[in-house]
Structure 1
Amino acid sequence: MSMTVESIQSPSKYIQGAGILNVLKDYVKNLGKSFLIVSDPFVFNDAKSKIDKSFENDSSKVLYEKFNGECTQNEIDRLIEVTKKEKSDAVIAIGGGKTLDTVKAIGYYANLPVVIIPTLASCDAPCTALAVIYKENGEFSKYLYLPQNPNMVIVDTDIILGAPVKFLAAGIGDAFATYYEARACYRAGAVNLVGTKITNAAMALAEACRETLLKDGLAAKDANEKHVSTKAFENIVEANIYLSGVGAESSGLAAAHAISNGLTVIPELHHVSHGEKVGFGTTVQLVLEGVSDKELKEAVEFMASVGLPVTLQDMGLKSIDRELVRKVAELSCAKDDTMGHMPFEVTVDNLCSAIIDANKKASEIVENMKSSNKVLTK
C-alpha cells in the first residue's frame, strides 16, 4: 500500500528583536562552553564587541574567524579544521547568506549545533536545512540538503536596519518567489525541499509571505532608508527570513530559483545578488505559466517599486544574444535543479523564449510605470 507523506519543518527556535546580539550568551549558553563564530568581515568588529560584552565574566571560550567570501567546499573544510582544533561545542554564523550556508554545512559535517545570526534580510537562507555550494569562480555548484534546520535563528533587527536598503530589497525578491513557486509545486504534485508532499500549513505560510510583502514592502523600504524601525519593517524582516525560509523549504522551489542558478553562467552578473536574480526568475516563471497580464503587471510593478532590477539590462547585462540566453536556459534546466517541479515540461527552447519575452514585457511595464508617474525606485 503506497503512503503519501507530507511535512513542514523549521528551525528549533526563531527569535527576532532589536539589540539581541547584546545578550547572545543568554540564548546560546545551553549549547556548550566553546563557540566558533564565523563572521562576515564588514560586521566583524561591531559583532565581536557586542558578543564579547555579552560573554563578559563568563568562562566560555569564544573564537572568531572571518569568512573568506564564498561558500565553497574549500572554505567549509578550512573552518571544519578550526572546530576540530578548538574542540568547539557549537558554531555560530554572523553575516549574509553565503556565510550562513557555510556554517550550516560546517555544522552538518562536524556534527555541531548551529546558530544563525543574519546581518541582512537579503534572502531566506537563515531558516533552511539547505546550503548552496558554489565553485571557486562563483558559479553554482550544488545544493547541499541537510538533515535538520539550524538549532536557532537569532535576528537582531538593529543590525539589519543599519544595512543598505538594497539588501532588504534583495530579500524581498527572494521572498516574493515563495508563493509562486509553492503554487507551481502544489499544482504539479511535486515534493518540497525535504522530499515530501506539501502541507496546507506550508501553503498558508507562502501565501502569508506574499501578502505581507505586498502590504508592507514599500513602507519597510522607506523605513530602512530612514533607519527608523517600524512595524512594517519588522514584518518584512520576518517575511524575508522566516515566512519565506520555512514556506519555501516546506512548499518547494520551481522555475524562479532554477533560473537564478542559470544566470550564474554569466560573468557580468556575478555581482548581482541571489534575491535580485530570483526576482527576475519569478517574472520568467510567470511568463512560462502564461499568467494574465494583470498578474504579471502586479508582480513586476511591485518588484520595481521596492528597487529590484526587473530586466537583464537593469542587472548590468549590456547585450543579450540568444546563444548566451541558451546557456542560461541549459543550466536552469539541469536535471538536479528545480525546473522539474513545474506543472508542465519546460524545455531549453521554451525557456529561452520565456527569458527573452519576460525581459521585454518587464521593460514595457516599467516604462509604463514611469509614464504614469507610479512610484519607482532605482
Structure 2
Amino acid sequence: MIRHFESPPLYVQGPNLLARCGAYLGRVGVRLAVIADAVVEGIVRDPLERTAEEHDLDIIFLQFGGECERGEVERLAALCLGVDAVVGAGGGRAVDAAKLVGDRVGIPVVSCPTVASTDAPVSRVAVLNHADGSVEEIRLLSRSPALVLVDSQIVAAAPPRYLVAGMGDAMATWFEARACWRAGGKTLFGHAPTWAGLSLARQCWENLRRHAREALSQAQAGVVGEALETVIETNILLSGLGFENGGLALAHAIHNGLTRIPSTHEALHGEKVAFGLLVQCVAEEAEEVEEVLSLLLGLGLPVTLGELGLERSEEALFRVVEYVFEKETNKLENEPVQLSPEGLMEAMLRADALGRAARSRG
C-alpha cells in the first residue's frame, strides 16, 4: 500500500502575528477575500488592513453566515470570483467554508483560526454540514491550505472552552492513529499511515498529558505562555497532520453519529470527539482509559451522555449506532477490535457509566 503524507507548505504561529503577516499573505496573492462572521471580523479586520496597506495588498471582507452548508459555500464562492486567494478566519466552520470555496473556485486558501478548537486549519479535508448542523459530507479537497496563520494572542483572548474542545479533539488523534496502525487501516485518503503521522499523533497525547492543565490556566488568565503556545500548536498543527497521516477511527465515528441528534448540537466538535474517545478506549479496553478519563475530567470535557445533551435512552443511542454502522464503516475498519452494533451500544453505556461514577466521586 502507498504511504502518503499531507501537509500545508507553511504554518506560522506567534503572538500579534496578524499585524505583521503581510509578507506571508503576499506569497499567495495581492487581492484577498476574508471570510469571517461579524464577531471575528471585528477582531481581525484592523490588524489585517494595516498589514495589507504596508504590503500593497487589497483585502475585502465577506460575512460568513455561521454554518458551513452547501448554499452558504455557493454564495461565498460566487463572491470570490476574481480574487487571488481566500482567507478563512474564525473557527472550524468558517475555515472549512473557505477551504470549500477555494476548492470550488480554484484558488489558494489561507487558514486564520482565531480559536484553537479543531485541527481544521491545516487539513485537506472539509466538513460540509446540513443547515441544521448535522454532517452531510466529509469532503477530500484538491489541495491543502497554502498558508496557516495562528495569532496566539488572539487565541489566548478567546473563551477557554474553545481551547479545551481543541484538546479533546487532539487527544483523540493518538488513539485513533494507533488503532488505524494496529488494524492495518487507511487514512481518509486511502493510503497507509506513515511513521511521521503516527509520531505526530503520539506527540499530541504527550504534550497534552504534560501541558494541558497549565495551558488552560494561562488561557484563563489571558497569558500567552509556553504551555499555551505548545497546546495551540498541538491542537492545530500536530493534530491536523496526525489525523490526516495517521488515520481516524471510532472517536470521530461517534462524533459524526452524535451530530444526528439535535440535542447535541450545542456541544462543540472536540467535546463530542472527547466522549467518542472515551467510548473508543472502553471498546478497545485500552490501558490508558483511566488516565484519559482523569484528563477529560480535569479539563471539564464531557464524560457522560447527559453532558452532551443526550438522553441515556436506547432510542437515542440506536440512532447514533445506526449512523456509525451505515456511514462510518471506513473508521470502524480502522479499529483493531471487531465491533457489532450491540457491542458499540454497550461501549457507549459503559463509557457513560464510568463518567457518571467519576463525576460522583468529585
Q: TM-score range by the shorter chain?
A: over 0.9
8 Å Cα contact 1:333/1:346 also seen in 2: no
Written as runs of structure 1 = structure 2, the 5 A alignment for 1:1-378 is 4-56=1-53, 59-84=56-81, 87-292=82-287, 295-317=288-310, 319-336=311-328, 338-368=331-361, 370=362
Distance 1:45 1:171 in 2: 23
The residue type paired with residue 75 of structure 1 is E
SS for the counterpart of 1:91 is strand
8 Å Cα contact 2:52/2:58 also seen in 1: no
Cα gap change, 1:58 to 1:234, in 2 (>3 Å): closer
8 Å Cα contact 1:258/1:333 also seen in 2: no
Distance 2:230 2:54 in 1: 35
The residue type paired with residue 122 of structure 1 is S
1:362 Cα deviation after fit: 1.7
SS for the counterpart of 1:265 is coil
Distance 2:119 2:173 in 1: 10
Which digits, 9 at most, give the CA deviation of each residue in 1:337-360, with x for residues without a partner?
Answer: 522321233222211111111100
Distance 1:221 1:60 in 2: 36
Cα gap change, 1:358 to 1:150, in 2 (>3 Å): same
TM-score of the pair, normalised by structure 2? 0.97
Structure 1: 5+ residue stretches without partners: 371-378
1:335 Cα deviation after fit: 3.7
- Range with greater deviation from structure 2 (344-353 or 260-269): 344-353
Q: Percent identity?
A: 35
SS for the counterpart of 2:27 is helix
Distance 1:142 1:332 in 2: 14
- Runs (4 or more) in structure 1 with deviation over 6 Å come to none
Structure 2: 5+ residue stretches without partners: none
1:166 Cα deviation after fit: 0.5
Aligned length: 361
TM-score of the pair, normalised by structure 1? 0.93
Distance 2:57 2:160 in 1: 36
Distance 1:313 1:57 in 2: 51
Q: What RMSD in Å do the two structures reach over aligned CA positions?
A: 1.3
